[in-house]
Amino acid sequence: MLLRPTWDDHKVVGMYAGRIVLGVGLLMAIPLVTSLVFGEWDTAADFCIGLLASLFTGLCLQVVFWTRKRLARRHGLVTVAIAWLLGTLVGTIPLALSGHYGSYADAVFDVMSGLTTTGLYLIQDLDHIANGLSMWRFVLTFAGGQGIVVIALTFLFRGSGAVYQLYSGEGKEEQLLPNVIHTARAIWVISLGWLIAGASLLSVTGLTLGMRPDRAVLHGIWMFMGAFSTGGFAPQSYNVIWFHSSVYEALCVVIFVAGSLNFALHWAVWHGWRGELVRNIETRSFASTLAVLSVAAAWALADTGIYGDWVVLFRKGFYQLVSAHTTTGFATIYSRAFVTQWGAGAMLITMAAMAIGASSCSTAGGIKGLRVGLITKSFFGEVRRVISPESSRVTVRYHHIRDQILREPVVRSVLTIAVIFITLYAVVTAAGVFAGYPVDQAAFEGISAASNSGLSCGLLSPSSPDLLKVVYVAAMWLGRLEFIAVLALAGWVWAAVKGR
């Protein structure tokens, strides 16, 4: 029997969502301070309005839905889905006020793209935007990478227990520490450690490349945030082309590969268990698919003859491929070059890399290396079972932080999510084709959105059909939350209407 949620249930969801919205609002203090430092007064006013509107919304939600009831298991996923939607809507306010968007919906697209660490964008005249506005784009993507719920858990929640549902609702299941709030704080410790090291290195490199000191530092911080969160936003419309430096590109690769690794793996390495890097099924899966796809991409690119020698081919081909595989979206070629220079073969390989994605419990999107690894293990396990004598018992093992036995429910779960991802990829591709775009470009852009990658072949623009933008926003949201939280919200609404 379908049970209708009670008013008390709605109150719990509303109140906790309000608290997370409050957290998103407080983040606007960072771009506000940036605008004030650089004397961008109109932009500062936009952030004042955005911050106050977020606080007002968050506080109103807590007053209207005030309750002393604690968050229960059934509330967690719905709260996350609603918080992401509301967080997106309030986070959009400063962008929409900036005058750089054709509509509020376009600004919503960019905020969802930032929070989901996708990197596709609709902002117009990016090369003239204020530093404060640029900072907000990167704070969104950095916060989204760690998870806005993780932020809220870090600063605004106490206790543990059912808040695990909030945490897992953002597509993260691994607990680095027994207490989920301590886990959230550990994620921030890891991320901030990387931020200090990565941004410093990029800033110094920027200076040596001839950038102005203030721009070198800002670009260093922003490019780190874009890379580590596997977000793909860049401060200039030229993306990584802007820097014209193999050193800068290599640093970005190190950072976005690090960002694409499981936080549990970071935690293990942080505590001296370096062997985990080699033994973990996710890193093995990622290394295997990257190697296979790299060879395939090199072959496809060599066939086009656009890059004269192998060094150049490696630099261009490998960069784009790792960026796709980690679902980062940084590019050292023009978007349209995928179509006009790379051709269908190399585009197809890039799509495969985006579709697979990187690690679970990281900032990356896509099906995830863990699932691909487990599906492969399960497949070979089945083969072994078929060729073994009937009386023998085949046990499939894998290593992920600890040695584990691959059991039927786990296989069923990873296959279900993989099938849903593939279905989503098909749906977004179909949406692009129905909007009138060639199938290869529709597939490239659609998979990029749904896997939260952000590489573009130039299909998406402010003049794209609104319906296609809505489909991409939904795909980014679904892909980032790995469906479960969004489906839980749909179930909640259904139960509220049809339940008893």
Partner 1 sequence: MRPMLTATLLAALIAAVAPSAAIGVGSAVSSEELVENPADWDGVTVTFEGEAIGEAMVRGENAWIHINDDAYTAASVEAGARLSGFNAGMPVLLPAEAAARIEQFGSHKTQGDYVKVVGVFRAASPEQGGEMLIEGDSLEVLRRGAAVTDPVMAWKLWLGAGLAGGCVIVGLLLQRLRHSI
The residues binding partner 1 (CB under 8 A) are 40-46, 48-49, 52-53, 55-56, 59-60, 62-63, 66, 97, 99-102, 124-131, 209-212, 215, 236-238, 241-242, 244, 246, 306-309, 312-313, 315-316, 332-334, 336-337, 340-341, 461-463
Q: What are phi and psi of 101, to 5 degrees?
A: -125, 145
Q: Which two tokens stand for residue 92?
A: 């959009």
CB of 310 to partner 1, least distance (A): 11
Q: Which is nearer to partner 1, 131 or 141 (CB)?
A: 131
How far is residue 308 CA from its own chain's centroid?
34
CB of 41 to partner 1, least distance (A): 5
CB of 60 to partner 1, least distance (A): 6
CB of 142 to partner 1, least distance (A): 21
Q: Which two tokens stand for residue 379?
A: 């497949």
Q: Which is nearer to partner 1, 392 or 463 (CB)?
A: 463
Q: Which is nearer to partner 1, 236 or 404 (CB)?
A: 236
Q: Which is nearer to partner 1, 137 or 172 (CB)?
A: 137
Q: Which is nearer to partner 1, 29 or 493 (CB)?
A: 29
How far is residue 286 CA from its own chain's centroid?
17
**Cα-Cα end-to-end distance for the chain:** 8
SS3 state of residue 399: strand
Stated length of the chain: 500
Instruction: Count Cβ neighbours within 10 Å for each residue of 146-165 and write b for 16 or more, e otherwise.
Output: bbbbbbbbbeebeeeebbbb
Q: What are phi and psi of 271, to 5 degrees?
A: -95, 15
CB of 97 to partner 1, least distance (A): 7
Q: Which is nearer to partner 1, 101 or 228 (CB)?
A: 101
CB of 312 to partner 1, least distance (A): 4
Q: What are phi and psi of 409, to 5 degrees?
A: -60, -35
Q: Which is nearer to partner 1, 124 or 179 (CB)?
A: 124
Helix (H) or strand (E) holding 246: helix 246-259
- Tell me, what DSSP letter sits at residue 458? S
Task: Please say whether the beta carbons of 486 and 80 come within 8 A.
Answer: no
CB of 73 to partner 1, least distance (A): 25
Place of tokens 């890399």: 353
CB of 189 to partner 1, least distance (A): 30
Q: Which is nearer to partner 1, 103 or 416 (CB)?
A: 103
CB of 48 to partner 1, least distance (A): 5
Q: What are phi and psi of 240, to 5 degrees?
A: -75, -15
Q: Which is nearer to partner 1, 8 or 42 (CB)?
A: 42
CB of 214 to partner 1, least distance (A): 10
In sequence order, what DSSP letters do the residues of 267-328 get, joined into one string? HHHHTT-THHHHH-HHHHHHHHHHHHHHHHHHHHHHHHT-S-SHHHHHHHHHHHHHHHHTT-
Alpha carbon distances (Å) from 101 to 87, 109, 142, 417, 462: 19, 10, 22, 34, 8
Task: Please say whether the beta carbons of 71 and 163 come within 8 A.
Answer: yes
Residue type for 235, please? P
Q: Which two tokens stand for residue 398?
A: 């894998």
Q: Which is nearer to partner 1, 129 or 364 (CB)?
A: 129
